[in-house]
Structure 1
Amino acid sequence: MIVDLFAGPGGWDVGATRLGLDVTGIERDHAACETRRAAGLRTVEGDVRAYGPADFPDATDMIGSPPCQPFSVGGKGRGRAALDTVLELAQRLAERQGIGEALAGFDDERTGLVLEPLRWALEAMDAGRPYRTILLEQVPTVLPVWEALGELLRVEGYSVATGRLSSEEYGVPQTRVRAFLAASLDGEARLPQPTHHRYRKGVTEVQEVFGLKPWISMADAIGWGMTARPALTVAVGTAAGGPDPSCVGGSGARATLYGERDAGRWIDCTRIVDADNLPAYRGGRRDTIRLSVQDAAILQSFPADHPFRGSRTKQFEQIGNAVPCLLAEHVIAAAFGLPLSSGQIAEAA
């Protein structure tokens, strides 16, 4: 059984269940937990910090995606400013020193959550039941943390691989880049090899060559939008501000979308959607390119019928924060030595 820390609406878990693996996710956001339950994903609603390996004695492997907002380039950057402190605390944690007081000193309490997977891993080792496989994901700015954690895990006997993976290279119709760590006690750790071409700016047609398939465009995935490239990263909107959660990316990304549209590399959305999702026009120009919840979910490679719960903003927040399901499946399959499932991106109805 796999324990998933910071499980969200199930990005990792959908990927794992497609591979026939058993997962239990810990998540404290109530709306995300409701989504998980509606999707049939085993869920513990609570704070990861309140639990440990002893609470999940059947778990043989661990995956996790700590909150990315403190480290995201779209956030306030408090985590990025605190990277040196985080790395120091990781070393102290590996030396089995207490770091509770130091964690309390962060301006954003979520910053220290990036160290929770290490705490869990060390507690499992000290209990004589180390996790066979550890898989972690975060925004690219956290790669130095994963590399530091990797060095600490190597000392404990793990093989470790770290690196950045670009989503469109794994069949996800989105150019989202994430930092991953894969650690294994059972063999050489590795990250998955790409199955699709990486998006290249200005290239509109790509043929299958060297065993790599063409990237999947936004229009191919959801039936409208950019025809020559994947979508940009789905933005995370919150009550505290940030990009419009119904858009792809921020203002710069929207300018890219408009550029693709104006260049004729675009299919208009002809599906009937609710009024809140209709494209807005002002002076004959579309001012906002909006996605439905289902559109955004498909761009993250969730099943088209994944039952997101909560307010519309909470649903977009869950989608934007999740690891793309197909990317997660590739990472898990590589780590566990499993063949990929036959799951495909499902178009919106």
Structure 2
Amino acid sequence: MTSQATSVSHESPAGEGEDEYRILDLFAGPGGLDVAARHLGVESIGIEWDDNACETRYEAGLQTIHADVRDMRADPPDPRHQYLGGVNVLVGGPPCQTFSVAGTGSGRDALDEVKKYLKSFVAARDDLAELRRLDRELAQPESTGEAGEKPDPRTGLVLEPLRWIMEAIRKGTPFKAIMLEQVPTVLPVWQEYKKVLESGELGVEYKAVCDVLNTEEFGVPQSRRRAVLIARLGKNADVAIPEGNYLQFNPRNADIRDIDAKVRYSLPIDKKAEFIDGVKQKSRCVSMHEALMDCRSRLAESDPAFLLSPPGPTADSGFPDRCGDRFYVVSNYGTGGNPQARGRRSYSQPAFTVTGKIRRNLLHNSTPERFTIPEAGVLQTFPGNYPWSGNDRAQQVGNAVPPLFAIHVLAAALGDFGKSRLPLGLKELATWRWEKASPERAKELKRIGRGGKSDLPPDSTHIRAFRTSAAEPI
């Protein structure tokens, strides 16, 4: 992908003009939100703890701080905090596993507890000692559940964006825009965020909206539901949930035995008339076969060497030609509460939710019988030649925010500026191509990200150990 974003170094943060933004991405992962930001022409910098995701980010040329988000707002601050100068937009997707259907369930049980802490933070906004005590309590919970186990520390991380918002307000530099996303079960938390942001209790007022969106309605070739919160500074700010141009996939209307039912579920309808009788006309959702073949055909022109590269030793790399294959996918997950009743999707339908276990899904009538990492990335709408690096690549892909979904939501958060940049950003994303960083640039990004150290941050596995599966497929 050829980006038209201006390259801005860590040492030269963006200005503070009306339409000048610099994004801080908390829990940045391998770069879904950052890819979207680049194609909107906006500089971003991400904070990420997982060393594998950081390796991908360095190779992709994304500005990165390899650290725990909590440490980066500590007092005294981490020396790398200097690279966050000028950030005025906050985005992020806190770890979702404890809130997801496929997780342990502790997050769902802890929603009331999280909302209680949210109110406690707001009440203590002028009491730094109490705020720090609450921070410590969440980071190292002393209470135990019925089974005698301590709560998963990631449950409290969903409140980290609030703490960054409060710190920015306390310093007199409130974020101009905020965009957060999580699994649908976190919507009640975003609703509490909305109340607080609009109440003025933090010292400033925002206008906020939140809802659950289906990514296939934005052209993502998979069914994936996300709870999003969008807020803009000012009680009268213009902010709205974006509307997709594609129909929601309804598996109840799909005959899984008819794996050749290509026309019904994937081909776009005639869109010459955008509105008919005041009703917006939408295309049928994009199928996984359409996305994979479109990506392959475009890369054949722009990056043919990538397509010719041989598969890796574990056959998880490479981009196989499935052009004539009328395949179907058998999910790794069961349906209807029956683990043996594996779901099926035709090549002419969107994929199941892409998770860290996508390599366990089986493809029938196609070779290889499992999606490669680049293919899984494309189903997430990452560029086909995105430089996935490090280990646990399937998990990186599954944990990421789909860039095509992110660009719509992020554009909505950036108001008129975002709307004006969206058409070009979508055009760039549609090339499916990414220019990775040069070895020298990747090395420099790694040096800055690690604070000039050659080794990983201390105890860098204490968060990674909790990174299990992502949200359950739907």
Alignment map for 1:240-319 (pairs within 5 Å): 244-248=357-361, 268-270=365-367, 278-279=368-369, 290-311=370-391, 314-319=392-397
Alignment map for 1:1-349 (pairs within 5 Å): 1-52=22-73, 55=81, 56-96=84-124, 97-98=130-131, 99-103=134-138, 104-105=140-141, 107-156=151-200, 157-185=205-233, 187-201=237-251, 202=253, 204-205=264-265, 207-208=269-270, 210-223=280-293, 224=322, 225=327, 226-236=346-356, 244-248=357-361, 268-270=365-367, 278-279=368-369, 290-311=370-391, 314-336=392-414, 337=416, 338=418, 339=420, 340=422, 341=425, 342-345=427-430
Identify which range, 47-56 or 91-100, moves more after superposition: 47-56
SS at match of 1:161: strand
Q: By how many angstroms is 1:214 displaced?
A: 2.1
The Cα offsets for residues 143-196 of structure 1, whole Å up to 9 and x where unpaired, read as 100110111111230000000110100010010100000010152222211111
- Amino acid in the other structure paired with 2:387: P
- Amino acid in the other structure paired with 1:25: G
5+ residue gaps, structure 1, are 237-243, 249-253, 262-267, 271-277, 280-289
CA distance in 2, matches of 1:344, 1:235: 22
Q: Does the aligned pair in 2 maintain the 1:150–1:162 contact within 8 Å?
A: yes
CA distance in 2, matches of 1:29, 1:2: 20
- Amino acid in the other structure paired with 2:100: S
Q: Does the aligned pair in 1 maintain the 2:91–2:180 contact within 8 Å?
A: yes
Cα RMSD after superposing both structures: 2.0
Q: Does the aligned pair in 1 maintain the 2:49–2:68 contact within 8 Å?
A: yes
Q: Does the aligned pair in 1 maintain the 2:39–2:429 contact within 8 Å?
A: no
Q: Does the aligned pair in 1 maintain the 2:241–2:409 contact within 8 Å?
A: yes
Give the number of aligned pairs: 306
Identify which range, 206-215 or 299-308, moves more after superposition: 206-215
User: TM-score, length-normalised on structure 1?
Assistant: 0.83
CA distance in 2, matches of 1:213, 1:100: 46
- Alpha-carbon distance change, 319 to 346 in structure 1, aligned in 2, over 3 angstroms: farther
The Cα offsets for residues 269-309 of structure 1, whole Å up to 9 and x where unpaired, read as 35xxxxxxx32xxxxxxxxxx21101110000001111111
The Cα offsets for residues 28-72 of structure 1, whole Å up to 9 and x where unpaired, read as 111101100100110110000001397323101110110011111
Q: Does the aligned pair in 1 maintain the 2:380–2:397 contact within 8 Å?
A: yes
The Cα offsets for residues 79-137 of structure 1, whole Å up to 9 and x where unpaired, read as 11111000000111111243135412252111100000000001101111000001001
SS at match of 2:98: coil
Identify which range, 15-24 or 199-208, moves more after superposition: 199-208
- Alpha-carbon distance change, 107 to 229 in structure 1, aligned in 2, over 3 angstroms: same
Q: Does the aligned pair in 2 maintain the 1:71–1:139 contact within 8 Å?
A: yes
- Amino acid in the other structure paired with 1:343: E
Q: Does the aligned pair in 1 maintain the 2:377–2:384 contact within 8 Å?
A: yes
- Alpha-carbon distance change, 154 to 134 in structure 1, aligned in 2, over 3 angstroms: same
5+ residue gaps, structure 2, are 1-21, 125-129, 142-149, 255-263, 272-279, 294-321, 328-345, 434-474
CA distance in 2, matches of 1:22, 1:324: 18
Q: By how many angstroms is 1:346 displaced?
A: 5.9
Q: By how many angstroms is 1:245 displaced?
A: 4.1
CA distance in 2, matches of 1:50, 1:101: 12
CA distance in 1, matches of 2:136, 2:61: 38
CA distance in 2, matches of 1:70, 1:115: 13
SS at match of 2:99: coil
1:275 corresponds to = none
Higher-Rg structure is 2
Overall identity of the aligned pairs, in %: 40
